[in-house]
Homo-oligomer: A and B are copies of this chain.
Amino acid sequence: MSISSFHPPERTLMGPGPSDVNPRILEAMSRPTIGHLDPSFVQMMEEMKELLQYAFKTKNALTMPVSAPGSAGMETCFVNLVSPGDKVIVCQNGVFGGRMKENVERSGATAIMVEDAWGDAVDANKLEEALKANPDASTVAFVHAETSTGAISDAKTLVELAHKYDCLTIVDAVTSLGGSPVLVDEWNIDAIYSGTQKCLSCTPGLSPVSFSEAAQERIANRTHPVQSWFMDLNLVMGYWGSGAKRAYHHTAPINSLYALHESLVILQEEGLENSWKRHMDNHLALRAGVEAMGLGFIVNEADRLPQLNAVTIPDGVDDAAVRGKLLQDYNLEIGAGLGALGGKVWRIGLMGYASNKTNVLFCLGALDAVLTSMGGKIESGVAVRAATDYYSK
């Protein structure tokens, strides 16, 4: 056996994440490793919390990155806030609501499902019906930005409803954070988790989370221990808390944290509101090009996430062949449909660093060429021109 160093190809990442990583972040990640209790590192951790509070628009003291990917951030929220025997209302309108149900059930609780069609936003009326029918529910969970469909839901209204019926809320903001408004304090969200590899355009592997005082209180007053030792926030806070003395819990992923710190510094430099605007602008340009090619979106205009575009695959077009050709001929990755949407949509991400004019024009040009090469009847150059027309307005 003799295996050599791995040198990845250079791709343009326009799928559902990971998205293109800013080279500044890759460089930051390769800085010298230091100890997880080094005074310099502890200082960096304080800055990290402040930067995450900025990104989440919150003053929550319990705001930090979980040392594992977004799925572990989701599980951290559930195992800390949910106890065996609890009843949790889960709104599902895509893949990730289903994963929430798994988390509820594995925590020994009962999931009451509120179902909406994949591609629709969560229906607040259905949630209220479920809240009325289940006065003993303790928690409402929903996905703010469904990565599997590209639909955004009205988090503010859903949280208000949950609170009206005395439930705490768990919100999935994996794909929204940094790309669309996520106003944790203004919307009174109790527990929220995100990922690093979407609109923060950082490498994958960490999950920023934030918890309100009400959530912290519930966690501190649990009678049944958190079933995960690794994710138990009562223990994790001995390390990430703001006490004078940091206690070792687990070894922090030092270099991944350098990367996240740098990505948040970049977000702060651009300004959160400017980042939201940029994501919307590039989405509208992509949309102009997509529609000029005669393709559509599965999500209604009002509920469309700018950073994740679920574009319908025309009848008779071979999904995998198109994605394969884009990868092979253009080093361009776009995403396949997940679950029920497999083979029906492409998911084109415009996330973080990848949300820029270059990527929009490149993707439209490449998709136009590939579809044409497979017999599509697309007027020459129309997609790219529609996008540049949008930018010129």
Contacts and interface: CB of A to CB of B under 8 A. Distances in A.
Copy number in this complex?
2
Contacts of A5: 24, 28, 261-262, 265
A1 interface: yes
B4 A265 contact: yes
A380 to B, nearest CB: 30
A32 B27 CA distance: 10
Given A40-B9, A251-B17, A229 B26 contact: no
Chain B CB within 10 A, most for which of A47, A51, A54, A72: A72
Contact of A106 (B75, B226, B261): B226
A228 B229 contact: no
Contacts of A366: none
Interface in A81-102: 99, 102
Interface of A: 1-11, 13, 15, 17-18, 20-21, 24, 26-36, 38-41, 44, 47, 50-51, 54, 67-72, 75, 99, 102-103, 105-107, 195, 197, 203-205, 225-230, 248-256, 258-259, 261-262, 264-265, 268, 327, 333, 338
Contacts of A27: 30
Contacts of A24: 5
Given A5-B24, A7-B31, A255-B256, 5 more contacts: A1-B268, A8-B34, A18-B34, A30-B30, A72-B250
Contacts of A255: 21, 26, 29, 203-205, 256, 259
